[in-house]
Amino acid sequence: MIEQSAFPVEPWHVRETRLELDLLAQSESLFALSNGHIGLRGNLDEGEPYGIPGTYLNSFYEVRPLPYAEAGYGYPESGQTVVNVTNGKLIRLLVDDAPFDVRYGQLLAHERVLDLRAGTLTRTAEWVSPAGRRIRVRSTRLVSFTQRAVAAIEYVVEAVDGPVRLIAQSELVANEPSPPRSADPRVAAVLEDALVALEQDAHDNRAELMHRTRASGLLMAAGMDHVVEAPGPVSVETRATADWARSTFVCTLEPGQRLRIVKLLAYGWSNLRSRPALRDQVAAALTGARQTGFEDLLAEQRTYLDEFWDGADVRVEGEPEMQQAVRFGLFHVLQAGGRAERRCLPAKGLTGPGYDGHTFWDTEAYVLPVLTYTQPQAAADALRWRHATLGLARERAATLGLRGAAFPWRTIRGQECSGYWPAGTAAFHINADIAAAVTRYRSATGDDELEAEIGLELLVETARLWMSLGHHDAEGVWHVAGVTGPDEYTAIVNDNVFTNLAAAHNLRSAADAAHRHPGLASSLGVTAEETAAWRDAADAVHIPYDAGLRVHQQCAGFTRLPEWDFEAHRDAYPLLLHAPYFDLYRRQVIKQADLLLAQHWFGHHFGDEDKARNVDYYERRTVRDSSLSACIQAVTAAEVGHLELAHDYAYEAALIDLRDINHDSREGLHIASLAGVWTALVAGFGGLRNDDGVLCFSPQLPEGITRLGFTVRWRGLRIGVEVEHGQATYTLRDGADSSLVFRHDGDEVTVTTGKPVIRRISTRTPILPRPPQPPGREPGRRRASERSSGGD
């Protein structure tokens, strides 16, 4: 795990106080910079040593075959893997004739800082070469939110105690070799020499390279330009070959003198535009960045982030680690989706190659709720991307013998890339998750235009899918058989509660939207008979319930399955790597919150006692082998009054990458879990709910948090919420004479601009005692505290 001593807790920074070579890959993920279009892993400027080199362009992928020992009808034939594109981060440095390499000579000091307000990664190092030459190096790196195609690096070298001759080599390198990868099936496939060289150009301080992928045929271009300052003359040479370009700068410094290089980078890719058009786009971006200048790029970045934080910041008093973590999470959620602009939002963002760079249902279920309430235009663009893949989803549904659209379980471009159909194709709930994201966006923003533009069609086609999947039995009850819910350890089941409730919500939402847009609905072939059938199915949906145990069944018959022997497997997590899926599927063991997610999303279907008993029952069987689980368990535990348990789960979700809790952050960050920290705090302790278009809060804090503050965007307004023990204060921040009606603890409240409203918080007493978890799977915070006090 990453120790706090190397990464101290600060409210607005992630600071690495010393360089730990065995944590390079993890720190590269933590320090990754992105704007949703370009992603740069936090590799050292000189490129070596490294954990995993990585430069990514959103949705730029290569096709690879999906081999099967026994193929079957409808199996996807090919997969898609994100490509490590041309690396522009490299600036190699020679001091006299010695390469600056932290593994040689003497590294006197080394620090890196991710500044969450400035949107920069800075690095400072003091180094003595094997020959005794001492230098200081400071670099500042950014990926611009305002100039989407641009990244920039300021690299400054200072001679300390004697004259030095410096040679700086700034490079573009394509087809970088990658290190050997883990055998874990979740990691990305290795692609070697994925890029075919097309064009290269070098002149003055500038160079461009253009490549295409071998199989997918995508074009990309990368360019670099430089501004160089030194007290004396600087010799410059720029060259380019098929897979690399290099600008070399040579100068001599006296003690106290500095060489400053500003490296400007531009990236673009397309599957439609011509080579000249793409080349000119990159050249124009470089020219624009050069005209802006590095200082103004920094100023633009700060202004963009100031506006973001003004409407998105979460303030946590009494819990410094949580304060740092929620801001770190929000920053990386913004980096994943802020300027993605109709591209997918990968599960790892653009921080690493994990999951092959694929997007999953995580986007709509975990990331878009955060963006909807903090950066709604980014959420709208993500939904537009899904709509852009609707044709492929229709083709997939037809292949499966279904109507409507079947969106892929995992993909980059829109085709299904999961070769394991029980957890992939059968997890049809992703279609209802997309529909839920559409309705959530409209409800929270009041934007009917997006519904007319793309939302109605998404709702209609997913509703049609459910009607061809579900069926009415002889008593008129509507069932969905043979599907996989969010819990991937319980596959191919009947009447998964989350799936059924999500499908019913999808059907009702489609009928309501068709009623709001009758002309558009008619053009899609929607009839009154069809919408009536949707409503009938939604009203008759089956929700399995065990009357003897008085709990909802995750799926039909779940509570009658054999129990899992948790004690025998307490040291064998994640279970999917230590037990056959066959055995997992037939027992009561849960990978991630499933029934509890249904309880969070569709809470009005569950009474207070039902919620308490469900939490008690499923807590004992959920092993959290998925990073998607802890934040949802935090919300549901808080709702039933287990505030300290909720705090433990929120802490685990928050520290998943900052402390590398799952030991897999080297492959990239867990963007959904980072988004889930916001959900755990704002929905869990702030009690945020969207109840059929009504904004609701039901706040309550655990003992360790003394004050919680956050802002949500609601229909063009921002409402600030400050929660203390015993009371909550609501402030409307926009408009001279605006007002907003919402609910606090079930009571209707009206707040107007400039007139904060204070309400008392009702105490939520748990109906049942705090439930235990499976042996060895207690939340991370409690386990750490037990270890520190001498416990197991």
Phi, psi for residue 11 in degrees, rounded to 5 = -70, -30
Question: Residue 71 has what pLDDT?
Answer: 83
The answer to whether residues 134 and 23 touch, using CB atoms and an 8 Å cutoff, is: no
Q: Is the model's pLDDT at 737 over the cut of 90? A: no
Question: Residue 183 has what pLDDT?
Answer: 53
Cα 227 vs. chain centroid, distance in angstroms?
Answer: 34
Distance separating the N- and C-terminal Cα atoms of the chain: 18
Question: Residue 77 has what pLDDT?
Answer: 87
Q: Is the model's pLDDT at 190 over the cut of 50? A: no
The pLDDT tens digits of the residues spanning 259-296 come to 999 999 999 999 999 999 999 999 999 999 999 999 99
Secondary structure (3-state) at 712: strand
Q: Is the model's pLDDT at 784 over the cut of 70? A: no
Question: Residue 791 has what pLDDT?
Answer: 33
Question: Residue 187 has what pLDDT?
Answer: 38
What number of H helices and E strands is found in the chain?
21, 32
Mean pLDDT check: name the lowest of 192-196, 277-281, 430-434, 478-482. 192-196
Tokens 């980014």, residue located: 378
The answer to whether residues 262 and 225 touch, using CB atoms and an 8 Å cutoff, is: no
pLDDT band at 405 (very low <50, low <70, confident <90, very high): very high
Question: Residue 245 has what pLDDT?
Answer: 98
Is the four-CA dihedral 547, 549, 552, 554 of positive or negative sign?
Answer: negative
Annotation marks residue 488 as catalytic: yes
Phi, psi for residue 631 in degrees, rounded to 5 = -65, -35
The answer to whether residues 483 and 409 touch, using CB atoms and an 8 Å cutoff, is: no
Q: Is the model's pLDDT at 723 over the cut of 90? A: yes
DSSP code at position 107: E
Q: Is the model's pLDDT at 563 over the cut of 50? A: yes
The pLDDT tens digits of the residues spanning 433-473 come to 999 999 999 999 999 999 999 999 999 999 999 999 999 99
Cα–Cα nearest to 423, from 486, 510, 331, 512: 486
Relative to beta strand 707-714, strand 314-317 is antiparallel
pLDDT band at 4 (very low <50, low <70, confident <90, very high): low
List 471's β-bridge partners, or say none.
Answer: 479
Q: Is the model's pLDDT at 326 over the cut of 70? A: yes
pLDDT band at 692 (very low <50, low <70, confident <90, very high): confident
Tokens 């368990």, residue located: 633
Q: Is the model's pLDDT at 314 over the cut of 90? A: yes
Percentage of the residues of the chain whose pLDDT score is greater than 70: 96
pLDDT band at 70 (very low <50, low <70, confident <90, very high): confident
Mean of the per-residue pLDDT values for the chain? 95
Cis amide leading into 779 (omega within 30): no
State the average pLDDT over residues 304-311. 97
- The better pLDDT of the pair 735, 616 is held by 616
Question: Residue 780 has what pLDDT?
Answer: 75
pLDDT band at 3 (very low <50, low <70, confident <90, very high): low
The pLDDT tens digits of the residues spanning 143-176 come to 999 999 999 999 999 999 999 999 999 999 999 9
Question: Which helix H or strand E contains 620, and what residues bound it?
Answer: none
CA distance 451 to 454: 6
pLDDT band at 764 (very low <50, low <70, confident <90, very high): confident
Mean pLDDT check: name the lowest of 71-85, 223-237, 523-537, 616-630. 71-85
The pLDDT tens digits of the residues spanning 622-661 come to 999 999 999 999 999 999 999 999 999 999 999 999 999 9
Q: Maximum CA pair distance of the chain?
A: 90
The pLDDT tens digits of the residues spanning 91-123 come to 999 999 999 999 999 999 999 999 999 999 999
Active-site annotation holder among 154, 488, 530, 778: 488
The answer to whether residues 680 and 628 touch, using CB atoms and an 8 Å cutoff, is: no
Single-letter code of the amino acid located at 27: S
The pLDDT tens digits of the residues spanning 572-593 come to 999 999 999 999 999 999 999 9
Question: Residue 184 has what pLDDT?
Answer: 43
